Amino acid sequence: MQLLLANFSWLWLALLVALPVLVHLFARSNPKRFEFSDTAFLRRIVKKSARVRKPQDWLVLLLRTLAVAALVAAFLRPLLTYGDADTAAERHCVVVIDRSASMAGRDGVSSRFASACAQAAEWLASDDFDRVNVVWLDATPDAVFPQPGVNVEFLVDSIHRQAVSAEAGAIKQAVDLAAAQLSQLAGDRQLVVVSDFQKSAWQNVSLEVPAGVKLTKVAVGDSDLPNVAIDRIFCAPAEPVVGEDVKVVCKVHNYSDTPQRVTLFLEVNGGRQSQVMELAAWGEGEALFATRFSEPAVVPVRAEISEDAFSGDDVAHALIEVGAPVALRSVAHSFNEDAVQVLARLGSALEWMEHQVDGPGSFDGASDALWFVHGWDGRDAASLREAAEQGATVVVEPGVGCSLGAIDAVLGLTGGSRSAQAMELETLEGNSGRAADRRGWQAGIAAAGEGLPVFQLFRSGEFGNPFGGNFFERWRLPQEWPADLERLADYDDGVPALAARRVGSGYVILWNLALGSGKGTWSDQSVFVPLMGELLAGYRNRGVVTSHEVPVGGELGWVLPDGIAAESVRLVDDRGNELELRSEQTQSGVRMVAERAAYPARFQWMTGGASLAQNASSFPSSESDLRLVDPAGIGSGEVVDRDGLLQRAALGDGVDLWPWLVAAVLLLLVAEALVCLWSPGSRSNG
């Protein structure tokens, strides 16, 4: 058995043990002077000066001295250990070291990750564990050894060779991996977590370990760090086409308690733009950059702000997939020359749209087109609905012979019993007499459609009524329709003018707006082109957009097209660094996979000098908020600092005696008080 002192450097406090003796001896060494005329006063002074010789005074001195000695010993933290290692249980430890992106934050000259590695390596090298291991906490936690091993020197060397990642951390997976390794061992088991305990990552985490495993949390990082970060890049519309006006939006966040002024630079479409942004404390802002694309392609976007102390999130990448112009195909069942000409002029006005005229028998239901069926007589409703279900947008304009039953069928409405008779066409010259006056009918946005995205451009009132003008004819439709039919526009008397319904993956649009100069004045209004642009863009088929963005820490892979040899493929990032690749056989063909996980950059899959595909990865926004949380509130276990770890390594698993010494101090003070009460008072001389 051995007695060790945890705070050996405080041994000088042992001199304080002599303090009670000195106080007891010299407290009355200089008695007061009295003027006396009687020897009674002299006897009283001698009695008080000689109290040190009384037995009860020696007992008080002893108790006080022992109390001070016990108190000093408690500060020295003595530990009772077993000298024979064979008699103690085996000791094992797994250290979880956080290498997520926030650990790159700097407190002084070194990063938090460097401090974590230094502390873990120093502790493992100084302790006498039987088996040890290290688990790295990142997006995909992994351990240095498959199982805890005995080669501490190799483990320490691997710690020093690691670098911080740009990934978010999978906390639960890392702790579970460490706990699973310890659960297979017997003896004393310790799980140590070394982290900055970043608030956004840890505040909702509850660390729990199996019974018999001792959890210790070691925090690195002195304080919260201010930071400004690019959160994300996106564009509106999300899937633009050639010729369409596009806004590239960059969101920037200020993670500090002081306002910040930053300059944001954006590289897109071969140009470089910039904006100055004023960010409130703990606020965020959006910068909008207008652009337009001239050809279908996957366009890289790079945003950058001026570098700060935490530079990982000062650059962001994105890829915008630009599609071909939208095909607007007119199918003339009952040929409507005026309406076709109006749409032809519309296609010329909108650069992102190409108009094409097809005959009645040419409808093939292609899902990448906007189909406008003029003068529909109600036939082939099932074919039109099936095309919409596959993703096409089908606009049906009722014509001669069309019935309400046919409209229900193409819209996919069930449960009704609409008439199969042909609908009535109302005109100003007709006998219906339903038009309010000879100017025709007026339409406007339906009450139920005012909040729809397609009308967002017109909410300010700058363009006036998007359906302004007069209509000289219309089909008489009932005012009541099922609730899942989107009412976009109504006539003043409640008759539907424009409605849409989602059918499968596409839309069917019911069109009751007369086109052509002889049938109304709406198509001649200045608001007609922007409204049609918003309407057709809002309801066109967006298709299946392939995501080119890979999360940081994810796998970079690409399935080779036919005719491309695997050995000719290279993967290069935007800095010119080439990544090692391997090939694997899949059901889709040969797939090339990068040996290294994705990190913040833009990647190009190349053969020869040609770029065949691209990927992009951006810094995880969850790692940009560098505020810390107190680890004491995260689950069970104790919190120690670096010195506490080293003391534990030096002292081993002995019995800590300081609680017993504090209890002894209290008992000695109580005993001293009792002795003082028992001490007899001075006798009077009669």
CATH of the domain at 237: 2.60.40.10
| Bridge partners, 228 (sequence order) | 254
Q: What is the pLDDT of residues 569-586, one digit of tens each?
A: 999 999 999 999 999 999
Alpha-carbon distance 489 to 372, whole Å? 18
Is residue 394 located within the same domain as residue 516? yes
Is residue 340 located within the same domain as residue 433? yes
**Residue 458 covered by a domain:** yes
Higher pLDDT, 37 or 265: 265
Alpha-carbon distance 85 to 122, whole Å? 22
Confidence of residue 44 (pLDDT cuts 50, 70, 90): low
Confidence of residue 463 (pLDDT cuts 50, 70, 90): confident
Mean pLDDT of 128-150: 93
Decide if pLDDT at 568 tops 90.
yes
Is residue 500 located within the same domain as residue 383? yes
Is residue 351 located within the same domain as residue 490? yes
For residue 210, what is the domain's CATH number?
A: 3.40.50.410
CA angle 394, 400, 402 (to 5 degrees): 55
pLDDT at 655: 65
Helix axes 337-349, 528-539, angle to 10 degrees: 90
Mean pLDDT of 91-97: 94
pLDDT at 369: 81
| Bridge partners, 613 (sequence order) | 605
Confidence of residue 37 (pLDDT cuts 50, 70, 90): low
Is residue 376 located within the same domain as residue 522? yes
| Residue showing tokens 């001490």 | 679
**Residue 63 covered by a domain:** yes
Q: Are strands 91-98 and 131-137 parallel, antiparallel or unpaired?
A: parallel
Higher pLDDT, 366 or 113: 113
Confidence of residue 84 (pLDDT cuts 50, 70, 90): very low
| Residue showing tokens 């770890």 | 645
Whole-number percent of the chain with pLDDT over 70: 84
pLDDT at 48: 57
Mean pLDDT of 261-274: 94
**Residue 124 covered by a domain:** yes
What lies within 8 Å, CB to CB, of 650 at 6+ separation is: 4, 6, 126
**Residue 474 covered by a domain:** yes
Confidence of residue 172 (pLDDT cuts 50, 70, 90): very high
Is residue 253 located within the same domain as residue 265? yes
**Residue 669 covered by a domain:** yes
Question: In this structure, which amino acid lies at residue 565?
Answer: A
Structural domain boundaries, residue 532: 329-539
pLDDT at 86: 45
Nearest-CA neighbor of 285 among 300, 271, 264, 302?
Answer: 264
pLDDT at 351: 85
Decide if pLDDT at 123 tops 60.
yes
Is residue 187 located within the same domain as residue 280? no
pLDDT at 3: 64
Last residue of a domain, one of 278, 295, 323: 323
Decide if pLDDT at 246 tops 80.
yes
Higher pLDDT, 78 or 654: 78
Is residue 471 located within the same domain as residue 526? yes
Domains held by the chain: number = 5
Decide if pLDDT at 110 tops 50.
yes
Q: What is the DSSP string of 384-403?
A: HHHHHHTT-EEEEEE-TT-B
| Residue showing tokens 């363009």 | 463
Last residue of a domain, one of 306, 323, 340: 323
Decide if pLDDT at 623 tops 80.
yes
pLDDT at 218: 93
Is residue 234 located within the same domain as residue 378? no
pLDDT at 527: 92
Q: What is the pLDDT of residues 530-554, one digit of tens each?
A: 999 889 888 887 655 566 899 999 9
Higher pLDDT, 657 or 633: 633
C-alpha dihedral (165, 167, 169, 173), degrees to nearest 10? -90
- List Cα–Cα distances, 392 to 335, 359, 537, in angstroms: 22, 18, 13
Phi, psi (rounded to 5 degrees) for 289: -125, 125
Decide if pLDDT at 264 tops 80.
yes
**Residue 609 covered by a domain:** yes
Mean pLDDT of 364-379: 83
Which two tokens mark 111? Answer: 């990063």
pLDDT at 6: 62
Is residue 585 located within the same domain as residue 529? no
Is residue 65 located within the same domain as residue 153? no
Is residue 607 located within the same domain as residue 639? no
Q: Are strands 369-376 and 393-398 parallel, antiparallel or unpaired?
A: parallel
Mean pLDDT of 13-40: 65
Mean pLDDT of 407-432: 76
CB–CB of 323/331 below 8 Å? no
Nearest-CA neighbor of 334 among 376, 370, 363?
Answer: 376
Helix (H, G, I), strand (E, B) or coil at 552: coil
Decide if pLDDT at 435 tops 70.
no
**Residue 666 covered by a domain:** yes
CB–CB of 307/284 below 8 Å? no
411-442 burial by CB neighbour count: b if 16+ within 10 A, else e? bbbeeeeeeeebbebbeeeeeeeebeeeebbb
Phi, psi (rounded to 5 degrees) for 208: -130, 135
What length does the chain have? 686
Decide if pLDDT at 9 tops 50.
yes
**Residue 170 covered by a domain:** yes
Question: In this structure, which amino acid lies at residue 341?
Answer: Q
> What average pLDDT does the structure give for the chain?
84
CB–CB of 63/11 below 8 Å? no
Mean pLDDT of 139-157: 94
C-alpha dihedral (199, 201, 203, 207), degrees to nearest 10? -130
**Both ends of the chain: CA-CA distance in Å?**
62
Count of helices and strands (H, E) across the chain: 13, 35
3-state secondary structure labels for all residues of 588-644: CEEEEEECCCCCCEEEEEEECCEEEEEEEECCCHHHCCCCECCHHHCCCCEEECHHH
